[in-house]
Amino acid sequence: MNQKNIYIIDFDSTFTQVEALDELARISLKKHPEKEAIFKKIEDYTNLAMEGKLSFGESLAQRVKLLEASEDHLKQLITRLKKKVSASFSRNAEFFKKHADEVLIVSGGFKEFITPVVSQYHIKKENIYANTFVTTGDGKIIDYDHANPLSEEGGKVKLMQQLNLEGNLYGIGDGYSDFQLRESGLIKKFYAFTENISRESIVKKADHITPSFDEFLYVNNLPRAISYPKNRILCLVIGEVDPQSIALLKKDGFSIRHKDSFEEKYVADVHMMLLADGEKIELEKLKRAVKLKTLGYLGQAKNKVDLATCTAQGVVVFDDLKSNPRNLTFIPKRMIDFMNTGTTHLSNNFPNLQLPRIDKSHRLIHIHQNVPGIMAKVNTIFAKHDINIVAQFLMTNQNIGYVITDINAQYDKQLFKSLKKIEHTIKFRVLY
């Protein structure tokens, strides 16, 4: 009999982008004359504990003393935290709904602000383990429950020993207290979550580095909002490209490499390329870049990039015909939109298709040579696999047929193999 999987997830800097007590301090001490110095002390106590350089109990006690917070401040904090849920957790809300019995939030933070945030994601209140505040009659926070094992050094280990859960336990977090669960042998694997912060002392001890929750779901073959984690999508930036353009691509989660030229070691694995104006790409390397999906050129791509080869290989090219140096993010935005939704709006070489994302569906992209009969073959395959088509979009030009099909959540993976085998297919991918 297969053992049940249990997912133990940290809250601060993992489920949310921030450390909640740090944020609470910024709210409660907003008018304090020495607020910046106090903020720094609180952040230092947080980091020392997360890196394992100070006991968690001591760190927590010192931070709560400095807060000068009340229940009214907590209400403001909750509003702020709901807007600060980590992007990869937010887009995978459906996973938590389907696996509500298997997800535990285990945190050294406080239930008063954790429960309202994670409950939106169908996480059960009885599966939330955290500290609790002690308040006065007028709502002022003066202390916390010292009897709670999570208030102590090694608290997560003590709690999990008490719970004595049966099954395969997996831990996801950013700090030392999360690693301690692995060190103690209580969990099967520890995944260092680095979407918001990467602590070198923790990362080097992890079983797997997880730049996003998508990555965790992907390596464990679990249902997810996007088919392929963005942190695994290599985006090569070549030449003198403005930092704003690079920052935009990095913020969206792609793995960025900024180089002076198209180095041989990246040819086989590059998915996206952004080239500075004036840069050229060798035809021989372009032909071997079989994973390349989109190429952005910060200027006019004609005579710098072989557009016919890009088209033949299903590579969507975005360039700036007006060579407008002031619009620094125009090209990267087009590239991001294509990778996220399949939109080819304003591309140089593809049919112009602009479309919305459709919820609760999977989006399949099929690029093919523009010859008669392809759509009939595509839809015949869908019919054979009993696929319910939610929406379908087709655009063609002289050379290319570009079809996007949104299907319902139920499908047979053999479907993908059949679509790839259609004669005249250039590229096929599942977007989400």
Question: Where exactly are the structural domains of the chain?
Answer: 5-220, 233-341, 361-431
Q: What one-character DSSP code corresponds to residue 273? A: E
* DSSP labels, 158-178: HHHHHH---SEEEEEESSHHH
- Kindly report each contact of residues 277-281 with a partner whose C-beta sits within 8 Å and lies 24 or more positions away, as own/partner: 277/239, 277/323, 277/325, 278/239, 278/304, 279/238, 279/239, 279/304, 280/304, 280/305, 281/238, 281/305, 281/306
Question: Which of 264, 259, 289 lies closest to 276, judged by CA?
Answer: 259
Q: Identify the helix (H) or strand (E) that includes residue 404.
A: strand 400-407
233-341 and 361-431 share one CATH topology?
Answer: no
Identity at 92, one-letter amino acid code: N
Res 66: pLDDT = 86
pLDDT by residue (tens digit) across 364-411? Answer: 999 999 999 999 999 999 999 988 899 999 999 999 999 999 998 677
Q: How many C-beta atoms lie closer than 10 Å to residue 276's C-beta?
A: 16
pLDDT by residue (tens digit) across 216-253? Answer: 999 999 988 888 899 999 999 999 999 999 999 998 99
- Beta carbons of 235 and 272 less than 8 angstroms apart: yes
- Beta carbons of 303 and 344 less than 8 angstroms apart: no
Residues 6+ apart with CB under 8 A from 126: none
Q: Which CATH superfamily is domain 233-341 in?
A: NAD(P)-binding Rossmann-like Domain (3.40.50.720)
Q: How many C-beta atoms lie closer than 10 Å to residue 402's C-beta?
A: 25
Q: Exposure pattern of 413-424 as b/e (b: 16+ CB <10 Å)?
A: eebbebbeebee
- Beta carbons of 213 and 85 less than 8 angstroms apart: no
Question: Which CATH code fits 5-220?
Answer: 3.40.50.1000
pLDDT of 322 higher than 90: no
Identity at 81, one-letter amino acid code: L
Tell me which of 415 and 413 has the higher pLDDT: 415
Res 180: pLDDT = 94
Q: Which CATH superfamily is domain 361-431 in?
A: ACT domain (3.30.70.260)
d(CA 229, CA 388): 26
Identity at 223, one-letter amino acid code: P
- Beta carbons of 95 and 223 less than 8 angstroms apart: yes
pLDDT by residue (tens digit) across 87-124? Answer: 999 999 999 999 999 999 999 999 999 999 999 999 99
For the chain, what's the residue count? 432
Q: Would you place residue 328 in the very low, low, confident or very high pLDDT band (cuts 50, 70, 90)?
A: confident
* Strand 316-319 relative to strand 294-297, pairing: parallel
Q: What one-character DSSP code corresponds to residue 368? A: E
Q: Would you place residue 324 in the very low, low, confident or very high pLDDT band (cuts 50, 70, 90)?
A: low
Residue 241 structure tokens: 């490209």
Residue 80 structure tokens: 């702020």
